[in-house]
């Protein structure tokens, strides 16, 4: 029951990510059985119809695609636009959820953390799930009735609780293992005091900053042997992964004149409804596509002539108070404008207005026509060749930049991960992709080139290496300058003394500053904070390296801790640090499991 106590103590902070993971696990888990990895990926047997494999557990490709489509349908129904970025985000989330669910389920089994009947019953008694507290059968006068709930729970009439039991039997083990991992996060009194000191205690400091340009680049020579030695010692830095290139034809989706006419007709109809007596605000809330106007009835407040695009301004300022405009076309679409008031302020004429925006977007017919055109091209490219089809259809062939396996972006097309996946699928040069939908059109790709992995030759990187070595030499010499200055400093004298002999050094007095903010003239750095915290009053630090530059710090004074305030803040700080540490522990634990697991992502080959 110790585990149950931890569950009770932490139930109120169950993370949404865990619930999402569980819901996905209900859909994903148990669909496919284990298999021998070496057998699956032997040369004789390819992994087919699978999105991937995690420690022998296969993720069925059809199920993976179905989960993506279900989520996209939900997003589409909420009114959000489906873009390439959205598709990629959803597909990655589902794949990552499958990995996490599989690995955590293995740990649950290894640690024997499965939920038994008594745990499920106790949990239901103590923590009624939200989806049950909203059920009408458990409500009295619109409020959750605990007595009704307990009565139903303790007197089942049949199998009505089976679904809830299955839900918790899957959820509770994940909850328990998360609690076990997160409880490893222990925050000491020293960590709390350190955090309080950094955020609440004022420090008075002096600093000497040694800027990088103090050392001239002309001061050093870099030999060819140094460059060659650096190249050999850092060769992995110049490793280039395999890249691939494609040709493509893109069909740009743009609104047609018919789409524009449709919105114009709607705008005229809305104006007529308003003039017939309907409230402008009500019509705006229902129809405007300006996000800021959805909840305000299209209210724009006061504005002058220079604050709006020219056609909008000209129309608004030509209207009389209370008048509604005809449809006004701008680059955003058609607007219906109602002027509510006029005034002159600071010599400028202003109007207070509302508007309804109707964007001009490609309609279903435009979509269908373009897709039909793109499909015909795809058929012809398959039958007669990519280049011949492009010539016949008068389409321009463009080429991608060299893409690596982790690329997401294609020049001129934007984020297009599905195209990259096609490029790295197990297909020969010359293979044509499916017709792929982009954010604003359709594209057909042809794999044209595979550039093997290689190391950049020394000749291509020698200039960059020379610059790197030069930076290191200049920084090292700057450190020597700072060390010599430090030797001459006396804790009884202000650091400003050093500037007299070298005005390039930057002196600064920092009066009563806290360490959670950057010091003036310096970037925030853990090295600086650590250096300050290690100093006693009137002590001067050794040069601390910050990037390629150096700083010397003298602690003038640090105020005493306000014990009353610290008592108030102490547990709040501990709680904040604990929450951060719990998240870090859990993330690190999952990352370690992933590192040790056998994970094969086969999504790119699902073509």
Domain match, 164 and 82 both: yes
Domain match, 174 and 272 both: no
HEC string for 368-419: HHHHHHHHHHHHHHHHHCHHHHHHHCCCCCEECCCECCCCCEECCCEECHHH
Element (H, E) at 189: helix 189-200
**Among 452, 483, 515, where does a domain finish?**
452
Domain containing residue 537: 202-215+460-558
Look up tokens 């207070």; give the residue: 352
Look up tokens 């259809």; give the residue: 393
Element (H, E) at 600: strand 599-601
**Among 329, 358, 387, where does a domain finish?**
358
**Among 330, 358, 386, where does a domain finish?**
358
CB burial class (10 A; 0-12, 13-18, 19+) of residue 198? middle
Letter string b/e over residues 347-363, b meaning 16 or more CB atoms within 10 A of that residue's CB: eeebbbbbbbbbebbbb
Q: What is the CATH number of the domain that holds 295?
A: 3.10.50.40
Domain match, 352 and 493 both: no
DSSP assignment letter at 98: H
> Which among 463, 471, 470 has a CA at the least distance from the CA of 545?
471
In a domain, 228, yes or no: no
Domain match, 444 and 540 both: no
In a domain, 236, yes or no: no
Give CA 548 to chain center in angstroms. 30
| Predicted pLDDT at 540 | 96
The beta-carbon contacts of 451-454 under 8 Å, at least 24 apart in sequence, are 451/242, 451/243, 451/244, 451/245, 451/402, 452/242, 453/239, 453/240, 453/241, 453/242, 454/239, 454/240
In a domain, 196, yes or no: no
Domain match, 30 and 149 both: yes
Give me the residues of the chain with pLDDT under 50, please: 1-45
**CA pair distance 593, 328, nearest whole angstrom:** 59
In a domain, 379, yes or no: yes
| Predicted pLDDT at 115 | 87
Q: Tell me how crowded residue 180 is: count the other CB atoms within 10 A of its CB.
A: 15
**CA pair distance 85, 91, nearest whole angstrom:** 10
Domain match, 446 and 471 both: no
| Predicted pLDDT at 438 | 80
Cα dist from 534 to 207, 223, 482, 599, whole Å: 15, 40, 19, 45
| Predicted pLDDT at 23 | 39
Domain match, 382 and 444 both: yes
Is 168 in contact with 120 (CB distance < 8 Å)? yes
Look up tokens 């390629």; give the residue: 548
| Predicted pLDDT at 607 | 53
Domain match, 64 and 175 both: yes
Is 210 in contact with 499 (CB distance < 8 Å)? no
Q: Model's pTM, two decimal places? A: 0.61
- The helix/strand/coil state of 96 is helix
> Which among 3, 54, 53 has a CA at the least distance from the CA of 174?
3
167 φ/ψ angles, rounded to the nearest 5 degrees: -60, -50
β partners of residue 245: 449
Domain match, 11 and 68 both: yes
Domain match, 409 and 514 both: no
| Predicted pLDDT at 131 | 83
92 φ/ψ angles, rounded to the nearest 5 degrees: -65, -40
Q: What is the CATH number of the domain that holds 92?
A: 1.10.4030
Domain match, 47 and 180 both: yes
| Predicted pLDDT at 154 | 87
Letter string b/e over residues 471-504, b meaning 16 or more CB atoms within 10 A of that residue's CB: eebbbeebbebbeebbeebeeeeebeebeeeeee
In a domain, 385, yes or no: yes
In a domain, 568, yes or no: no
Look up tokens 């409880």; give the residue: 183
> Which among 421, 459, 453, 401 has a CA at the least distance from the CA of 228?
459
In a domain, 577, yes or no: no
Domain match, 521 and 427 both: no
Structural domains in the chain (count): 4
Is 483 in contact with 489 (CB distance < 8 Å)? no
Look up tokens 């179905």; give the residue: 66
**CA pair distance 492, 511, nearest whole angstrom:** 18
β partners of residue 206: 509, 554
In a domain, 567, yes or no: no
């Amino acid at each position: 029951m110790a585990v149950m106590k931890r569950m009770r103590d932490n139930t109120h902070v169950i993370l949404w990510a865990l619930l999402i993971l569980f819901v996905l696990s209900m859909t994903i888990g148990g669909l496919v059985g284990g298999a021998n990895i070496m057998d699956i990926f032997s040369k004789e047997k390819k992994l087919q119809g699978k999105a991937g494999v995690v420690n022998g557990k296969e993720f069925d490709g059809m199920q993976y695609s179905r989960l993506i489509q279900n989520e996209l349908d939900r997003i589409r129904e909420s009114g959000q636009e489906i873009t390439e970025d959205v598709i990629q985000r959803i597909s990655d989330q589902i794949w990552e959820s499958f990995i996490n669910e599989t690995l955590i389920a293995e740990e649950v089994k290894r640690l024997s953390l499965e939920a038994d009947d008594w745990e499920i019953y106790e949990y239901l008694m103590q923590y009624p799930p939200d989806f049950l507290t909203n059920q009408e059968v458990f409500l009295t006068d619109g409020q959750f009735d605990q007595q009704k709930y307990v009565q139903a729970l303790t007197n089942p009439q049949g199998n009505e609780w089976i679904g809830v039991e299955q839900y918790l039997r899957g959820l509770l083990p994940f909850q328990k293992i998360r609690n076990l991992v997160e409880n490893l996060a222990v925050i000491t009194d020293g960590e709390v005091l350190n955090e309080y000191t950094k955020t609440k205690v004022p420090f008075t400091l002096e600093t000497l900053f040694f800027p990088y340009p103090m050392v001239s680049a002309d001061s050093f020579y870099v030999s060819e042997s140094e460059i060659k030695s650096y190249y050999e010692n850092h060769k992995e830095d110049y490793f280039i992964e395999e890249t691939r290139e494609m040709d493509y034809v893109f069909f740009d989706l743009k609104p047609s004149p018919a789409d524009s006419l449709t919105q114009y007709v709607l705008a005229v109809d809305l104006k007529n409804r308003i003039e017939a007596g309907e409230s402008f605000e009500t019509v705006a809330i229902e129809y405007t596509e300006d996000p800021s106007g959805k909840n305000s009835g299209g209210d724009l407040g006061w504005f002058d002539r220079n604050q709006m695009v020219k056609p909008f301004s000209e129309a608004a300022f030509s209207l009389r108070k209370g008048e509604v405009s005809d449809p006004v076309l701008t680059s955003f679409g058609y607007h219906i404008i109602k002027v509510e008031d006029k005034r002159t302020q600071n010599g400028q004429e202003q109007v207070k207005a509302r508007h309804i925006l109707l964007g001009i977007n490609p309609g279903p017919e435009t979509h269908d026509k373009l897709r039909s055109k793109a499909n015909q091209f795809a058929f012809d490219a398959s039958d007669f060749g990519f280049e011949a089809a492009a010539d016949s259809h008068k389409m321009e062939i463009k080429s991608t930049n060299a893409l690596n396996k982790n690329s997401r972006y294609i020049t001129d097309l934007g984020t297009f991960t599905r195209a990259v996946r096609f490029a790295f699928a197990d297909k020969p040069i010359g293979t044509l992709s499916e017709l792929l939908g982009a954010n604003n059109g359709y594209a057909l790709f042809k794999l044209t080139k595979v550039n093997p992995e290689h190391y950049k030759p020394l000749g291509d990187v020698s200039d960059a290496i020379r610059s790197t070595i030069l930076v290191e030499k200049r920084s090292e010499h700057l450190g020597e300058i700072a060390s010599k200055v430090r030797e001459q400093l006396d804790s009884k004298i202000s650091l400003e003394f050093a500037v007299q002999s070298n005005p390039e050094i930057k002196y600064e007095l920092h009066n009563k500053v806290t360490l959670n903010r950057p010091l003036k003239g310096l970037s925030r750095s853990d090295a600086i904070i650590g250096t300050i915290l290690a100093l006693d009053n009137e002590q001067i630090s050794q040069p601390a390296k910050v990037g390629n530059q150096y700083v010397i710090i003298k602690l003038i004074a640090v105020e005493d801790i306000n014990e009353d305030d610290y008592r108030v803040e102490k547990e709040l700080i501990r709680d904040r640090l604990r929450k951060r540490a719990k998240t870090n522990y859990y993330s690190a634990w999952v990352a370690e499991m992933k590192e040790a697991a056998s994970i094969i992502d086969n999504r790119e080959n699902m073509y």
